[in-house]
Amino acid sequence: MPRGQIIRTLSNFYYVRDEENNIWECKARGLFKMQKITPLVGDYVYFDSVNQEGQKTGYIVEIEPRRNELFRPQIANVDQAVLVFSMKSPDFSTILLDKFLVHVEKANINPIICLTKIDLLEDENQLESLLKPYLSTGYLIIRTSSKNNIGLEELKSRLKDKITVFAGQSGVGKSSLLNALIPALELETNEISKKLGRGKHTTRFVQFLSLPNGGMVADTPGFSQLDFVGISAEELDDYFVEFQSYSEVCKYRGCLHQNEPGCAVKLAVEKNEIDNGRYEHYLQFLNTIKEAEARKWR
């Protein structure tokens, strides 16, 4: 039975690249719907081929176990995630960045923070202050400008021979960045909506794109909202990586680092060993998750 990887989804069709580099247009067997399993871009699958009048079509019959999976964007089996944030239009948001980092850390995917439109930066000192907790935590940050060709070579070197997902808000410049990395693409780009303050969705589906020097990147639809489906209150602190060494010595097992006495994380925040802004975001996310969990029991 042929084996391949889903490289694109559109409506109810899955485009599978087989081991001989052929592309097959496939549908999923009904058993996946019964099992409540949705095939994702990045899945390795087995499929029944149906060669009709020279057209390569088929049916996906089996999905191999995933080594990782993101809920939004929906994708599987990637090596790293490039989290794309712009300096302007829309403005850089640390709370949205922290939401992305929580989801990527949960999926055990290596994150790269990519700042776009760096040519529009007005206050470098303010940016350095915002980035300090991420740099001290060890996150890689690449500053880019597609317009001025800044940072693109560094980004290319990080993407080589990797499977990478690009994710971020609408309008942050993912398509412009990918066009700069792969000039033959000519992906559609749009201006920011002045009324809404965010970008229009120029990417409408998840798809893998091959890089000229090896590797693949997944372009994904932009969005402005990100929830915490599948993340419990008890596990949230695992995804704030700077908390981990402190949470191990909290007085109480299962400490939520909120009001508990003897909390080593809260003490580290007071000593400026953990950034207060990141801690405040943690508390906001924790309250959101706890409220959602309480609604389930009403």
Q: Does residue 225 lie in a domain region?
A: no
pLDDT class of 197 with cuts at 50, 70, 90: very low
Q: Does residue 230 lie in a domain region?
A: no
Q: Does residue 231 lie in a domain region?
A: no
Q: Which comes out higher in pLDDT, residue 220 or 253?
A: 253
3-state secondary structure of 4: strand
Average pLDDT of the residues in 243-271: 96
17 Cβ neighbours under 8 A, 6+ residues apart:
4, 5, 7, 23, 24
Boundary-marking domain end, from 219, 251, 282: 219
pLDDT at 204 over 50: yes
Q: CATH code at 55? A: 2.40.50.140
Q: Which comes out higher in pLDDT, residue 187 or 253?
A: 253
192 in the same domain as 274: no
Boundary-marking domain end, from 219, 246, 266: 219
Angle at 10 between CA 182 and CA 98, to 5 degrees: 65
Average pLDDT of the residues in 211-234: 83
3-state secondary structure of 223: coil
pLDDT at 259 over 80: yes
The tally of domains found in the chain comes to 3
Tokens read off for 167 = 């994710």
75 in the same domain as 205: yes
Q: Which comes out higher in pLDDT, residue 248 or 11?
A: 248
258 in the same domain as 140: no
Q: Does residue 176 lie in a domain region?
A: yes
Q: CATH code at 193? A: 3.40.50.300
Q: Which long-range contacts (CB under 8 A, 24 or more apart) does 198-204 make?
A: 198/90, 198/169, 198/170, 198/171, 198/224, 199/89, 199/90, 199/169, 199/170, 199/171, 199/172, 200/170, 200/171, 201/170, 202/175, 203/174, 203/175
50-54, 245-249, 264-268: least confidently modelled range: 50-54
198 in the same domain as 91: yes
120 in the same domain as 212: yes
pLDDT class of 89 with cuts at 50, 70, 90: confident
Is-contact 265 250, C-beta < 8 A?
yes
128 in the same domain as 19: no
pLDDT class of 74 with cuts at 50, 70, 90: confident
Cα gap 279→143, rounded to integer Å: 25
Average pLDDT of the residues in 212-241: 86
Tokens read off for 58 = 């088929």
140: burial class by Cβ within 10 Å (0-12, 13-18, 19+)? middle
182 in the same domain as 43: no
Q: Does residue 159 lie in a domain region?
A: yes
Cα gap 182→212, rounded to integer Å: 7
Tokens read off for 35 = 């099992």
pLDDT digits (tens, 9 = 90+) for 149-191: 999 999 999 999 999 999 888 888 888 888 888 887 766 554 4
Which domain does 262 fall in, by range? 236-296
Q: Does residue 192 lie in a domain region?
A: yes
172 in the same domain as 201: yes
- Residue 81 is predicted with a pLDDT of 95
Cα gap 71→84, rounded to integer Å: 17
Dihedral (C-alpha) 191, 193, 198, 203: value to the nearest 10 degrees?
Answer: -50
Average pLDDT of the residues in 132-142: 96
51 in the same domain as 77: no
Judge if pTM exceeds 0.85: yes
Average pLDDT of the residues in 113-130: 92
Q: CATH code at 273? A: 1.10.40.50
